[in-house]
Amino acid sequence: MTDPLTPVLTANWAQEGSWTLPAYVDQGGYRALKHAVTLDPNDVMQMVKDSGLRGRGGAGFPTGMKWGFLPPLADKPRYLVVNADESEPGTCKDIPLMLASPHTLVEGVIISAYAIRARQAFIYVRGEVLHVIRRLQQAVSDAYAAGYIGKDILGSGYDLEVVVHAGAGAYICGEETALLDSLEGRRGQPRLRPPFPAVAGLYASPTVINNVESIASVPAIVANGPEWFSSMGTEKSKGHVIYSLSGHVERPGQYEGPLGITLRELLELAGGIRAGHELKFWTPGGSSTPMLTKEHLDVPLDYEGMMGVGSMLGTRALQMFDDTTCVVRAVLRWTEFYKHESCGKCTPCREGTWWLVQLLERLEHGDGSVDDLDTLLDLCDNIAGRSFCALADGAVAPIMSSLKHFRDEYVAHFEHGGCPFDPAAATLFEAETATAGVGV
Ligand SMILES: Cc1cc2nc3c(=O)[nH]c(=O)nc-3n(C[C@H](O)[C@H](O)[C@H](O)COP(=O)(O)O)c2cc1C
Ligand code: SF4
């Protein structure tokens, strides 16, 4: 097949010392910034709007439109906050990007802050990734020394301060309003909206919050033009994105391609599912996005395509699970994560995720019944859409989708009196279930 990859954000990752300022500049780095500061900030914002860039943090909200929600300039300062918390199971694109090429993000931060007329920007990084934090701090410090950050940037009269802030490692702090509370020094819990961050965000001032990959996409848009960006992707999902393939795949890793590529195409590039096995289920964008099966290999990986099959594109964290995986066990592990990470603010999520784990444990051990499956769905129904933030919706997604695609496998657990799955010989499950009249 023709190589459908479009390396832009990942283009310099294999270069010697790609994270250093000289290597980045050698590759054309900070060229876009030099151009941007000669333009009116409104024109830079318009370029981002025209490109069709949609937020890469999961929801896919148009970035330029979000920037346009800021109220007119007044006495209050404006802030740019970069969401670099990346904690969703399976999601691993922002951390590699910041590790391999922190200046791509830093340049994006400066141009984006200039476009929205912010004089202070924060990069909120997940606390556990100390190596990434150090690399970012070094990149910011080198950018200050080179005159790209600080007073009168490149003689333009524009001033900007950039702070790299380490979180304490809580999944909920990736939710944008919880992140703001955490950045202000409070316990990270989601805020009631409205007011939205664009109006009253950090320190109750107008704030733009964007994902690392969204902001890192801005320099290439400014350097190459919005038409170049929107020539990639599909009608409503424009541009290039990073797909992270993990799990039972021959060559896991980051594959940058246009929106709308299919999993089948990506798997061809990644050497396919590991030898001797076949794909059983996969997530399009991390554990919070409903799982799909091999029937969905040819569905375009864009926002519309994934919605059309009852899932979501999310963060393009493509986790592959082959025929040796017990779906009930995998779902239990994810649910334990959500139970642990529930911030406790609202009852359906705090109590509900605890009950979900109890039920799934029982089912996985083979002590469940058909009634438990109904209770599981009933619980999910009382959590999704009835909780304070989207963590709860994500928590029920693996359960509801696995029951849709693999109900027989749940049933096989209590018919067998335990997990009927022998990972060493995937055939056992097939043999057992065939006699029980159940197929996977
Ligand atoms: C529980 C939870 C965790 C989240 N974690 C992240 C995260 O780690 N990084 C991120 O960019 N967005 C995360 N989000 C989405 C953010 O709330 C927000 O939509 C995003 O940062 C906006 O950026 P974008 O418009 O550039 O996509 C999370 C949302 C929820 C509900
Ligand atoms: S849904 Fe869960 S994570 Fe979100 S506010 Fe409620 S308890 Fe906290």
Nearest CA to ligand 1 atom 29: 175
d(CA 161, CA 27): 25
Let me know the angle formed at the C-alpha of 156 by 56 and 77, rounded to the nearest 5 degrees.
60
Mean pLDDT, rounded, for 56-71: 97
Mean pLDDT, rounded, for 375-383: 97
Angle between helices 41-51 and 102-116 in degrees, nearest 10: 120
Q: Thinking of the domain 327-436, which architecture would CATH place it in?
A: Up-down Bundle (1.20)
Closest to 362 measured CA to CA, from 379, 349, 345, 347:
379
Task: Give the pLDDT confidence of 392-440 residue by residue, as tens digits.
Answer: 999 999 999 999 999 999 999 999 888 887 655 444 444 344 333 332 2
Question: How many Å lie between the centroid of ligand 2 and the Cα of residue 249?
Answer: 33
Task: State percent of the chain over pLDDT 70.
Answer: 95
Model confidence at 74: pLDDT above 70:
yes
Mean pLDDT, rounded, for 89-93: 95
Supply the pLDDT for residue 3.
Answer: 67
Task: Give the pLDDT confidence of 105-143 residue by residue, as tens digits.
Answer: 999 999 999 999 999 999 999 999 999 999 999 999 999
Closest to 272 measured CA to CA, from 28, 29, 1, 63:
1
Contact between 259 and 237 (Cβ < 8 Å): yes
Using CB distances shorter than 6 Å, the residues near ligand 1 are 55-59, 61, 83, 85-88, 171-172, 174-176, 209-211, 214, 389-391
Average pLDDT of the chain, as a whole number: 94
Task: Give the pLDDT confidence of 159-215 residue by residue, as tens digits.
Answer: 999 999 999 989 999 999 999 999 999 999 999 999 999 999 999 999 999 999 999
Sheet of 240-247: strand order equals: 253-258, 240-247, 317-322, 279-283, 292-293
Instruction: Give Cα 66 to chain centroid, integer Å.
Output: 18
Model confidence at 229: pLDDT above 80:
yes
Is ligand 2 within 6 A of the CB of residue 392? Answer: yes
* 3-state class (DSSP) for residue 293: strand
Contact between 89 and 334 (Cβ < 8 Å): yes
Mean pLDDT, rounded, for 337-363: 97
Which residues have a Cβ under 8 Å from the Cβ of 315 and sit 6 or more positions away?
A: 56, 57, 58, 88, 90, 91, 93, 244, 285, 286
Which residues have a Cβ under 8 Å from the Cβ of 66 and sit 6 or more positions away?
A: 55, 198, 208, 210
Choose the CATH number for 240-322 among 3.40.50.1400, 2.60.370.10, 2.30.300.10, 3.10.20.600. Answer: 3.10.20.600
Q: Is the pTM of this model over 0.85?
A: yes
Supply the pLDDT for residue 4.
Answer: 82
d(CA 417, CA 188): 42
Supply the pLDDT for residue 425.
Answer: 43
Which residues have a Cβ under 8 Å from the Cβ of 187 and sit 6 or more positions away?
A: 181
Nearest ligand to residue 303 Cα: 1
Mean pLDDT, rounded, for 87-113: 97
Is ligand 2 within 6 A of the CB of residue 172? Answer: yes
Closest to 207 measured CA to CA, from 102, 120, 310:
120
What pairs with residue 163 in β-bridges? 122
Is ligand 2 within 6 A of the CB of residue 383? Answer: no
In Å, what is the CA distance from 229 to each residue of 36, 111, 196, 226, 243?
16, 17, 28, 5, 17
CB atoms under 10 Å from CB of 393, counted, come to 18
Instruction: Give Cα 98 to chain centroid, integer Å.
Output: 14
Is ligand 2 within 6 A of the CB of residue 402? Answer: no
Domain boundaries, given as residue ranges, for the chain: 21-230, 240-322, 327-436
Contact between 145 and 153 (Cβ < 8 Å): no
Question: How many Å lie between the centroid of ligand 2 and the Cα of residue 393?
Answer: 10
d(CA 108, CA 119): 14
Choose the CATH number for 21-230 among 3.40.50.11540, 2.30.110.10, 3.40.50.150, 3.20.20.70. Answer: 3.40.50.11540
